[in-house]
Amino acid sequence: MARYLVRRLLQLIPVLIGITIVVFLLLHLVPGDPARTLLGVRATPARVAALDREWGLDKPLPVQYVDYVGRLLQGNLGSSIYYQAPVTQLLGTALPVTLGMLAMGTVFGIVIAVPLAVLAATRAGRPADQLIRIIPLLGLGMPPFWVGFILLIIFGLTLSLLPVGGYGVTFPQHLVSLVLPALTVAAVMAPILIRSMRASLIEVLRSDFMTAARAKGISRWRILVRHGLRNTLIPTVSVLAVNLGYLLGGTVIVENVFGLPGVGHLLLSGIFDRDFDVVQSVTLIYALLVVIINLAADLAYARLDPRVVLGS
Amino acid sequence: MRHPTYRRAAPPASGANPRLSDPLARLSGVLGILLLAALAACGNSAAAGSSSAGSSGTPQKGGNLVVDTLTPVSDFDVWETSDNESIWAYDQIGQTLFENGSDGKSVTPLLATSYSLSADQLTWTFQLRQGVRFSNGTPMTSADVVFSIEQEANQTNDTGWGYLDAAIKSVTATGPSTVQITTTTPWAPLLADLAFFGNAIVPNNYGGETHAQFYQNPIGTGPFMISQWVKGQYLKLVRNPNYWQAGKPYLDSVTFQAVADDNTRVLQLRGAQAQIIEDVPFGSIASVRSAGYDVGLFPSTRIDYVTMNEYNSGGADTNQWFTDPHVRAAISYAIDTQAIAQAVFFGYGQPANSPLMPSVEYYAPGQVDCCDLTKARQQLAESTYPNGGFSIDFITTEQDQVQYKIAQIVKADLAPLNITVNLRLLDPSTVTAQEQSFHFGMRETYWTMDIIDPDEYLSFVLDGSPAGGAYANFTHFDDPTLDSLIAEAETTFNSTSRAALYAAIQQRAAADAPIIWIGYSPYRYGYSSKVHGYSVYPEGNTHFEDVWLSS
Amino acid sequence: MSLPEIVLSPLAVTTRRRPGVRWLRNKTLLAGLALLLVIVLAVLLAPVLAPHDPNQQDLFHVLAPPSATHPLGTDDLGRDVWARLLYGGRIDLLIGVTAVIAPFILGSALGLLAGYLGGWVDAVIMRVLEVVVAFPFYVLIIAVVFALGAGVSSIFIAITAVGWVSYCRIVRGEVLVAKRLGYVEAARAAGLSTPRILVRHLTPNVLTQGLIYAMSDIVLTILAVVTLGFLGLGVQPPTAEWGSMLQSGYEYLATDPILGTVPGIAVVITGLALSLIGDGLAAEFGKP
């Protein structure tokens, strides 16, 4: 396992380098004088000069890149012009919000998806299954932020059940504020989960193993729960990991709809405020998150499935 | 959707330099002073249409108020911060010598109790209030006042607010409670300038910190002090135990929470997560009211207008058509500001009839003629483009719905004149950047007054000379007569003469039509019935020390 | 046909079903095609179905509820919502379909190179792919469009830069399968040139797999366009487009929910149609 981990980490290095290159180049995509264009309204001669100095915009590109990586390795993510604070500080308060929403959303997603997937798999081919199979088809076409609208209308306007929007100040307030956003994330995640879980559950139900166990008299439910669900865990984890990029991206707008001060909100406001260090660093963080979670998923996959021979 | 506070363009690069022009009779000068003093003294009495929330009942002490704002409180650095949320929050912490009156047309003494003006009108002597302390307990002295005003006037940030203090020559402490300010020329707007948040009184030498350090966690003499500031999320202020006004503030704390989405703010009010919400969308006012909440339509100093760029760069982006006054007049007539008031402001705003706003001193109505397609066609016929036939780039952003909608309406309104308007959708910062580099045809923007004196605004928006600092809101419109009228008005103390000058300025500006004046609209704040003593002044600030919550 | 050709024809080598008249009995595919047909007809016949000009403002009747003349009411500038829905559909569908062409071509070409040439070419392309995949879809699209400036061409560039990845993977996978099955070598041994092998024998499978994926890719692209429109980074006003309709609809969610819900429903229905087609095609041509 350790050897596998080390190998994977080594394989990550070119990817990490690639990520920093892309993020670095984003700055240079902007047409015209980057510092001046970026600062826009705030372009005082002093600031433009400071920005030029900070990024060494007059030096050749490779040198600039090396400097940038150097700063990254020292943990310097730059500072926000709008908030007059280091980006690490802003991320420190924003990351828990986003991660909290994702975690809660994943839990909700699983809670929604598992029963439906089981129902569909055990009634494969029958009306209940047909109905449930439409969910992924509908779900793929739903803009994540629009799902947020619908939830807002139902729970906020019509029922006035849950507090909507904002993040609150105390921890209980935080939790309650995350419910609707998490439901939105779950609504995006569930269709994907249902589809893959259903498929692998059906495989289990039709497998020889299943027939043998039934022949021994073990109840269908027991097999399903003990073995079926465990076996779906593996492909589910990998499906989640594969779609992680898409899910994370969806959270960006969802945070906006609900006014959550998370990383996505930082990104969008950084973009509209032309707060470049923020945009660059947040994009980097997103990519890192995806890479880390994929790695964790791979390791979990390896742990869960004894058939996977590590390092082969 | 995120609506970044639509920040006004940054203050002009070079300060508005007062000019030494017309000499003034000393007598009328003294009369002017007396008139000003009289106005200042009775500033609070005329509540010109400003409503205030539930002012009946005995104020109860205690309570935690939550205010939802459009954007987060981002930056207290008085040299550069320009977003309203930061400014209005800072108003609770730092106080100035004078403050804006509730009618928006005068100033009342705050940290100064009285003042006198020398005969040559160049030296102002202020008496400071006794018994004022900073929130850390240190007494406020004249040394603090001198330092505070000097740091704003002498700031190194040349695109900051320092230009408002440009007329100040020196600030000295002539006693522990007296401060003297000399100006380079007789300067009528000085008291208004001193009421500006940038001139708030801070501890001498920032209490030992650097400028940047201080403004990360500023202290002042105001009713509240900072308790928690999570940048990007919320700012929590708590009662200043050393506040000099006995019995106030009533509230234990005020929390400013950033909620960018209009719907969410409304829902937070209805869900009692916030007791006051900023910027209720015009279209939601009716439904918020029918849900049992109040929406205060406080008179504001906001005016929306559309600028037309006359900059002749000689290059591909030359806008030669706007230099023709008949073209400008034709466009002015063609734009249906009444329809805009209906569709954009939902009837809660009115078409603009002057470059100035009703709640500003020296406002003279009836200047602007509008909404007449026949007259528009007549004007166009007399112009160098009798059949229209040109196209204009209108830069706008979807982030500001008011701007966005007005842009689309302008496009539709100019089509009958055979003028094509191309809408260029950009992000808000790019819009401002392009405007300031003169790369645009038209744009929509607005102004809300920073000080009660009309000089800052009119200089910015009409003065095309370098002294104006912004090339007439970046249009490169320049009428030397108008420029000199503006310059004369800022050194005139006699309020009758000043009124006459500003009337002439408004009339001329309306006739020249360098800018299409669109409409006035009120501030829209939603609040629950538990909130009392709440009102928003025409400059947009609120005195939270007067607010109390009932249980 | 020469012997090598017979040996190497897809029928002989693969276990996939060939298209035939069977597809008419594929209910999923039929349902999807029918739904798509309805949608396409609706937007094409917009002038007939919605007599109002989608940009015609009526400033004194904004946010009107549904009525005889305005079946879905009017928006915040008094424009007919039904008309804007149909005309907006044209834009979204058009961009959705055309924007996948470039990624398809680019991705397939790179996948072909990676799979066929192997070695360091494959390694480099796969690393680049991993880097692109590391960025969340929307994040990269928003960042690129923001940097390049709002507008349709930026959308195309952003989608291409991000979307080639899946086609690359699919094609590379097909090429590797073909290599593993050995018939590439066999063909070469039989004297067929490399390009001929690639084009003639790999293309059919590649195209069908790509087409299946393209269905969901079009949905993703439409979602991206709609999201960008919602953020104000998309199609220029006053052109009707579902995303910008949702943007202004969001403003009035409390007073006029139709504006904020109907364009979303249109996106979902379009997504449903395309997903049904994709699933149907997968059942026909997909791996057993």
Q: Which residues of B174-202 are buried (b: 16+ CB within 10 A; e: fewer)?
A: eeebbbbbbbeebbbbbbbbbbbbbbbbb
Q: Are strands B234-239 and B442-447 parallel, antiparallel or unpaired?
A: unpaired
Contact C227/A at CB under 8 A? yes
- CB contact under 8 Å between B424 and C236, yes or no, is yes
* pLDDT, mean over chain A: 80
Write the residue in A157, A169, A257 that is nearest to B255 by C-beta.
A169
Better-predicted residue by pLDDT, C238 or B141? B141
% of chain A at pLDDT higher than 70: 87
| Secondary structure class of B46 (helix, strand, coil) | coil
Q: Do C78 and B343 touch (CB under 8 A)?
A: yes
The rounded distance, in Å, linking the Cα atoms of B103 and B122 is 28
Which among B70, B279, B398, B401 is the top mutation candidate for probing chain C, defined by the most C β-carbons within 10 Å of its own β-carbon? B398
Nearest to B464 by CA among B449, B454, B476: B476
| ipTM metric | 0.80
| Tens digits of residue pLDDT in B55-101 | 567 889 999 999 999 888 988 988 878 788 899 999 999 999 999 98
Using a CB–CB cutoff of 8 Å, tell me whether A10 touches chain C: no
Chain pair A-C, CB pairs under 8 angstroms: 138
Residue labelled with tokens 């080594």: A10
* pLDDT score for A195: 85
Model confidence pLDDT, tens digit, residues B374-391 = 999 999 999 988 888 888
C43/C83 Cα distance (integer angstroms): 9
How many Cβ contacts (< 8 angstroms) between chains A and B? 120
Which residues does chain A have within 8 Å of residue C260's beta carbon, measured at their own beta carbons? 146, 149, 153
Is the pLDDT confidence value at C288 over 60?
Answer: no
CA separation for the pair B331, B516 (Å, rounded): 8
Structure tokens belonging to residue A9? 């980490």
**For residues C70 and C268, what is the distance between their CA atoms, to the nearest angstrom?**
23
Q: Is the pLDDT of residue A96 over 60?
A: yes
Q: Radius of gyration over alpha carbons of chain B, in Å? A: 23
B41 shares contact with chain C (CB less than 8 Å): no
C neighbour chains, 3+ CB pairs within 8 Å: A, B
Residue in chain A lying closest to C137 (CA): A246
pLDDT of residue B470: 79
Q: Output the pLDDT for position B110.
A: 94
Among the partner residues C59, C232, C248, nearest to B397 by beta-carbon distance: C232
* Interface-testing mutation among A16, A38, A137, with chain C (most C C-beta atoms within 10 A): A137
The continuous run of DSSP H or E covering A231 comes out as: helix A229-258
Q: Do B158 and A45 touch (CB under 8 A)?
A: yes
Tell me: pLDDT of C273 over 90: yes
Contact A152 B10 (CB under 8 A): no
Q: Give me the residues of C, 118-137, that contact A with CB < 8 A.
A: 127-128, 130-137
Residue A29 has pLDDT above 80, yes or no: no
Which structure tokens are listed for C113? 């190179």
Residue closest to B415 by CA, chosen among B390, B379, B383: B390
pLDDT in tens, A121-175: 888 888 888 888 888 889 888 988 899 888 877 887 677 667 667 777 778 888 8
CB pairs under 8 A between B and C: 83
Give A-chain residues touching C274 at CB under 8 angstroms: 141
CA distance B171 to chain C (A): 47
Which residue of C lies nearest to B285 if distances are taken between CA atoms? C255
Interface of C with B (CB under 8 A): 55, 57, 59-60, 62-63, 76-78, 146, 149-151, 230-233, 236-238, 244, 247-248, 250-256
State how far residue A40 is from chain B, nearest Cα, in angstroms: 5
Within 8 A of B257 by CB-CB distance, chain A residues are: 166, 169
Structure letter (DSSP) for residue C200: I
* Cβ neighbours of C141 in A, within 8 Å: 249
Tell me if B425 and C236 make a contact (CB, 8 A cut-off): yes
- Using CB atoms, which residue from B74, B159, B271 is nearest to A160? B271
Name the helix (H) or strand (E) containing A13.
Answer: helix A2-29
Q: Which residue has the higher pLDDT, C102 or C250?
A: C102
- The chain-wide mean pLDDT, for chain B, equals 84
- The model's pTM is 0.79
Name chain B contacts of C60, Cβ cutoff 8 Å: 339, 342-343
Considering only CB atoms, B423 lies closest to which of C236, C250, C251, namely: C236
Residue C237: which of B336, B408, B430 has the nearest Cβ?
B408
Q: Beta partners for B515?
A: B307
Which band of pLDDT confidence, cut at 50, 70 and 90, is reported for residue C252? confident
Q: Report the gap between the CA of A56 and the closest CA in chain B (Å).
A: 22
Q: Which of residues 256-285 of B touch C (CB under 8 A)?
A: 261-263, 266-267, 281, 283-284
- From the list B267, B409, B426, the residue facing C150 with the nearest CB is B426
Give C-chain residues touching B405 at CB under 8 angstroms: 76-77
pLDDT tens profile C97-141: 999 999 999 998 898 888 888 889 998 998 899 888 888 888 888
Q: Collect all residues of chain C within an 8 Å Cβ-Cβ radius of residue B411.
A: 238
In this complex, do C134 and A15 lie within 8 Å of one another by their Cβ atoms? yes
- Which residues on A lie below 8 Å from C137 (Cβ)? 245-246, 249
From residue B480, give the alpha-carbon distance in Å to each of B19, B308, B464, B501, C33: 14, 18, 8, 15, 69
Mean pLDDT in residue range A213-225: 75
**Could you read off the pLDDT of C15-70 as tens digits, one per residue?**
444 555 565 677 888 999 999 999 999 999 989 888 889 888 888 888 888 998 89
Which has more pLDDT, B205 or A221?
B205
Strand partners of residue B450:
none
Q: For position B25, what pLDDT does the model report?
A: 32
Distance from CA of C135 to the nearest CA of A (A): 5
A26, A138, A253 ranked by CB distance to C268: nearest: A138
CB contact under 8 A, C150 and B281: no
Q: For B158-182, how does the pLDDT look when each residue is reduced to its tens digit (9 = 90+)?
A: 667 877 888 899 999 999 999 999 9
Q: Which chains, if any, share at least 3 CB pairs under 8 A with chain B?
A: A, C
pLDDT (0 to 100) of residue C23:
59
Contact C134 A287 (CB under 8 A): yes
> Does the beta-carbon distance from A256 to B263 stay under 8 Å?
no
Say which residues have a Cβ less than 8 Å from residue A187's Cβ, sequence separation at least 6: A139, A142, A147, A151
Confidence of residue C5 (pLDDT cuts 50, 70, 90): very low
Residue contact B263–C57, C-beta within 8 A: no
Asked if B261 and A89 come within 8 Å (Cβ–Cβ), the reply is no
Quote the Cα angle for B419-B520-B448, to 5°.
Answer: 105
Nearest by CB: A83 against B232, B271, B274: B232
- DSSP state letters, C141-169: HHHHHHHH-SSHHHHHHHHHHHHHHHHHH
What pLDDT digit, counting tens, does each position of B270-298 carry?
Answer: 878 899 999 998 888 988 898 889 999 99
B206 φψ region: left (φ > 0), alpha (ψ -120 to 50), beta (else): left
**H or E stretch at A23:** helix A2-29
Q: How confident is the model at residue A310 (pLDDT cuts 50, 70, 90)?
A: very low
**Residue A166 is nearest to which of B270, B273, B428, comparing CB atoms?**
B273
Average model confidence (pLDDT) across chain C: 82
Q: Which of A42, A43, A167 sits opposite B233 (nearest CB)?
A: A167
Instruction: Report pLDDT for B54.
Output: 52
What is the reported pLDDT for A42?
Answer: 53
Q: Do B257 and A152 touch (CB under 8 A)?
A: no
